[in-house]
Structure formats: structure tokens, C-alpha cells
């Protein structure tokens, strides 16, 4: 393994560098697999540990893809970020349908969730470094029904089980694997322009949970940025530090910086933005993490531009990762290498 790999450089400062891994490429695509093994010291399953993946049919688990990743990580001396236990997206349809048509009531839903958390965390007990226990339950400025504390009142879990469910999933996860670091994970919760209200809500909510002794160990800022809007590098670092000051670990968990493809609202031609803004923003996120003692990992959400959630989710954007469509390292890769 080269001394100038991201993982080797990160190791010198006790910082793990990670990527999300797509089960469809791992093992079958040699170039992809080589990059994952050589460059990264922590891996996240892009989809394989989500509820719809592990329990597509009620009561029958399919751990095959998740097991593959955990085994790969062990073989390559990598840690694993478990992702994710409580989330409103990528739920199995038997669950959402059952709740919608009333065949699954509140008490049963709570039992089902507890069993899901317990079974999944127990299966990988001792093998997961950080779990994203709860994901994206806070309201954005555009969400119509925020609760007074900033939680999203329309979130599937909060709506159906009440806001106490957040503390409960952390307790259940902790019972199943007392040594795993338990994270809350979300986007736009550090370094946002404007009021930064979502940061404040998350901060205050978890300050309270920590004070109550709920087993929360960390906050993950996803770090989905773009080359145009709303990122304040100083504030990014300050916000991560504020989470750290609560006695929590911090991680950047899903970094990508999407660029605008043929978008006329772009102030500067796309090629120039891609050349400067993207490595700059990756670099600023990494530096923010490096300057916060409690920040323990920095993960990109995917390996290369040919396999990324970005173009399918944000129309007109793409090319947000560290390697290009030909799996060659991009300026953003070299920027991180330089910073490390
Ligand atoms: C995305 C995956 O990258 C896609 O492959 C999938 O179709 C949808 O989910 N926030 C998260 C991640 O926490 O789980 C999401 O991953 C991206 C946004």
C-alpha cells in the first residue's frame, strides 16, 4: 500500500478516510475494488445495511451484501460505519404499506423497530466502529411541519411513534453492541449560510440527550455540497467543534461536491467551477475535520463519478466525487492528499 494513499496519510494523524461502497461493484470490478482497498481505512455500505436491503420480506433477513462488505473490511484492515438503522427512506414496502393501511398499529410498529435495531446491531456486534443510528429526522427550512425543537413532525418515525423514539433507538442499539460508537447523521447540520437553524436544533437536542445519559456518541455531518450554494468553511469547523464540545465524536460521513452540468444559472463556466470550487470545498471540509480533535473520520459518498447517487437525485448535476468516470483521481483527490 502506497505511503501517499489517503488511508496511509490519514493514519499518521489518527484520522480514518472512508468511502461508501456499492455492493454491485465490490469484488466484481477489479479497479473499483482496488481503490477501495488501497485508499480507504473505513467503509460504509451505500445501501446494503438499509432496512429494505436486509429485510425485504417480513421476518426473512438477507444479510448477504452486508456480510460481504464486513468481510471485505476485515480482510483489508478497515473499519466499518454501519448505515443506517432508523430512517424514513428505503424502508421495506411491507412495513410502509402495513402502516399506511392500518394493519400495523403503533405498538406493533414499535416492536418491529426494536427488533430491527436489535437484530441488525447484534449480527454485527464487535464489527462496527460507528453506527448511524438515526438519520435525517430534523426539519429543513422548507419542511412544512417542524416541531418546536426542530425535529421534522412529518418524519415517518416521529409521526408514528413520537419524538421519544430517537432516544429509544440509541438505547436499543447500545444494548445490542455496547462498544459501537452511536451516531446521529444528517445533512446541512454544519457550515450552512444564513440562520444555520438546523445546526442549532441538532446541537440543542443532542445536548439534552447527552445530559439525560442517552447513549449517543457522535454527530455525523453528511457533507453533500455543491459548487454553487451555501457553504461557509469557517462555520463548518465551528459547528463541528460545537458538537465536539458536547463530549461527542464528530465525523464527515457522506462527502460529495456536485457540479452543475450545462446549467445556465452557474456564475462561472462549469469547467472552471469543477476545477476550483470542488477541490476547494472537499479540502475545506477535510480541514474543518482535521482542526477538530473530536473528528475521527472523513468519508466520501462513493468512489467515482461513474457510480454516484448525484445525477439520479439532483437533476442537472453530477461529477461530485474524488475519481472521474474512468476511475482516475481528480483534483479533489489531490487536494485531500495535499491536506493530509
Ligand atoms: C443514497 C444512495 O447513495 C443511493 O444509491 C440510494 O438509491 C438512495 O440513498 N443520505 C443518506 C444516504 O443518508 O443513505 C443516501 O444514499 C444519500 C443521502
Ligand 1: which atom is nearest the Cα of residue 301? 3
Q: Inform me whether the pLDDT recorded for 308 exceeds 90.
A: yes
Decide: 309 in ligand 1 pocket, CB within 6 A: yes
pTM for this predicted structure: 0.97
Ligand 1 centroid to 282 CA: how many Å?
19
CA distance 79 to 41: 6
pLDDT for 194: 85
pLDDT for 117: 99
Q: How confident is the model at residue 200 (pLDDT cuts 50, 70, 90)?
A: very high
pLDDT for 188: 96
Query: Which residue matches cell numbers 461557509?
Result: 232
pLDDT for 271: 64
pLDDT, tens digit (0-9, with 9 covering 90-100), for 125-159: 999 999 999 999 999 999 999 999 999 999 999 99
Asked if 66 contacts 54 with a C-beta cutoff of 8 angstroms, the reply is: yes
Q: Average pLDDT over the chain, rounded to whole?
A: 95
Q: Inform me whether the pLDDT recorded for 267 exceeds 90.
A: no
pLDDT, tens digit (0-9, with 9 covering 90-100), for 65-99: 999 999 999 999 999 999 999 999 999 999 999 99
CATH class of 6-339: alpha beta
CA distance 168 to 158: 12
Q: Kindly provide the residue ranges of all beta strands, DSSP E only, lying in 195-331, ordered along the sequence.
A: 218-221, 224-226, 249-260, 295-300, 317-318
The whole-number average pLDDT for the span 86-115 is 98
Q: How confident is the model at residue 228 (pLDDT cuts 50, 70, 90)?
A: confident
Decide: 47 in ligand 1 pocket, CB within 6 A: yes
| φ, ψ (nearest 5 deg) of residue 337 | -60, -40
Looking at per-residue pLDDT, the higher value among 266 and 69 belongs to 69
Burial of 81 (0-12, 13-18, 19+ CB in 10 A): buried
Q: Inform me whether the pLDDT recorded for 2 exceeds 90.
A: no
pLDDT, tens digit (0-9, with 9 covering 90-100), for 242-259: 999 999 999 999 999 999
Q: How far apart are the first and last CA of the chain?
A: 16
Ligand 1: which atom is nearest the Cα of residue 308? 3
Q: How confident is the model at residue 50 (pLDDT cuts 50, 70, 90)?
A: very high
DSSP states along 20-46: EE-TTTTTT-HHHHHHHHHH-SEEEES
pLDDT for 270: 59
- Residue identifier of the C-alpha nearest atom 1 of ligand 1: 309
What radius of gyration do the chain's Cα atoms show? 19
Q: Inform me whether the pLDDT recorded for 265 exceeds 90.
A: no
pLDDT, tens digit (0-9, with 9 covering 90-100), for 22-39: 999 999 999 999 999 999
- Residue identifier of the C-alpha nearest atom 16 of ligand 1: 46
CA distance 41 to 50: 21
Q: Which helix (H) or strand (E) holds 80?
A: strand 79-86
Q: Inform me whether the pLDDT recorded for 313 exceeds 60.
A: yes
Q: Which residues are catalytic?
A: 136, 254
- Residue identifier of the C-alpha nearest atom 15 of ligand 1: 46
Decide: 51 in ligand 1 pocket, CB within 6 A: no
- For residue 111, give the 3-state DSSP assignment: helix
Helix axis angle, 197-211 to 233-245, nearest 10°: 10
| Low-confidence winner among 134-143, 228-237, 299-308 (lowest mean pLDDT) | 228-237
Measured CA distances, 320 to 15, 151, 227, 275, 305 (Å):
22, 29, 9, 12, 6
Question: Would the ipTM clear 0.95, i.e. be above it?
Answer: yes
Measured CA distances, 147 to 110, 137, 152, 165 (Å):
21, 11, 6, 14
Q: How confident is the model at residue 193 (pLDDT cuts 50, 70, 90)?
A: confident
Which ranges of 40-190 does DSSP label H, i.e. alpha helix? 51-54, 64-75, 93-100, 106-123, 156-161, 164-176
Using the 8-state DSSP alphabet, how is residue 229 labeled? S
pLDDT for 260: 83
Ligand 1: which atom is nearest the Cα of residue 136? 13
CA distance 312 to 35: 23
Amino acid at each position: 500500500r502506497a505511503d501517499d494513499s489517503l488511508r496511509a496519510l490519514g493514519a499518521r494523524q489518527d484520522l480514518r478516510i472512508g468511502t461508501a461502497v456499492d455492493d454491485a461493484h465490490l469484488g466484481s470490478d477489479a479497479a473499483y475494488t482496488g481503490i477501495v482497498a488501497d485508499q480507504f481505512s473505513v467503509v460504509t455500505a451505500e445501501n446494503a445495511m438499509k432496512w429494505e436491503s436486509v429485510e425485504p420480506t417480513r421476518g426473512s433477513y438477507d444479510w448477504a451484501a452486508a456480510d460481504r462488505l464486513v468481510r471485505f473490511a476485515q480482510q483489508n484492515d478497515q473499519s466499518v460505519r454501519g448505515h443506517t438503522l432508523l430512517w424514513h427512506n428505503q424502508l421495506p414496502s411491507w412495513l410502509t404499506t402495513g402502516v399506511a393501511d392500518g394493519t400495523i398499529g403503533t405498538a406493533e410498529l414499535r416492536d418491529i423497530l426494536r427488533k430491527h435495531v436489535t437484530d441488525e446491531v447484534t449480527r454485527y456486534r464487535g464489527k462496527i466502529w460507528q453506527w448511524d443510528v438515526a438519520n435525517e429526522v430534523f426539519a429543513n427550512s422548507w419542511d412544512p411541519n417542524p416541531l418546536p425543537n426542530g425535529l421534522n413532525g412529518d418524519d415517518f418515525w416521529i409521526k408514528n411513534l413520537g419524538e421519544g423514539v430517537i432516544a429509544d433507538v440509541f438505547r436499543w442499539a447500545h444494548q445490542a453492541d455496547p462498544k459501537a460508537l452511536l451516531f446521529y447523521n444528517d445533512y446541512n447540520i454544519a457550515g450552512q449560510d444564513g440562520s444555520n437553524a438546523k445546526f442549532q436544533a441538532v446541537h440543542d437536542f443532542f445536548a439534552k440527550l447527552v445530559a439525560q445519559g442517552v447513549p449517543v456518541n457522535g454527530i455525523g455531518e453528511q457533507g453533500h455540497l455543491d459548487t454553487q450554494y451555501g457553504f461557509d468553511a469557517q462555520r463548518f469547523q465551528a459547528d463541528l467543534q460545537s458538537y465536539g464540545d458536547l463530549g461527542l465524536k464528530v465525523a464527515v460521513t457522506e462527502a460529495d461536491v456536485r457540479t452543475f452540468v450545462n446549467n445556465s444559472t452557474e456564475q462561472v463556466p462549469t469547467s472552471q467551477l469543477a476545477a476550483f470550487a470542488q477541490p476547494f470545498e472537499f479540502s475545506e471540509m477535510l480541514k474543518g475535520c482535521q482542526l477538530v480533535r473530536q473528528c475521527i473520520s472523513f468519508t466520501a459518498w462513493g468512489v467515482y463519478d461513474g457510480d454516484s447517487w448525484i445525477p439520479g437525485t439532483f437533476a442537472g448535476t453530477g461529477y461530485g466525487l474524488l475519481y472521474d468516470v474512468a476511475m482516475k483521481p481528480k483534483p479533489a483527490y489531490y487536494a485531500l492528499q495535499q491536506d493530509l
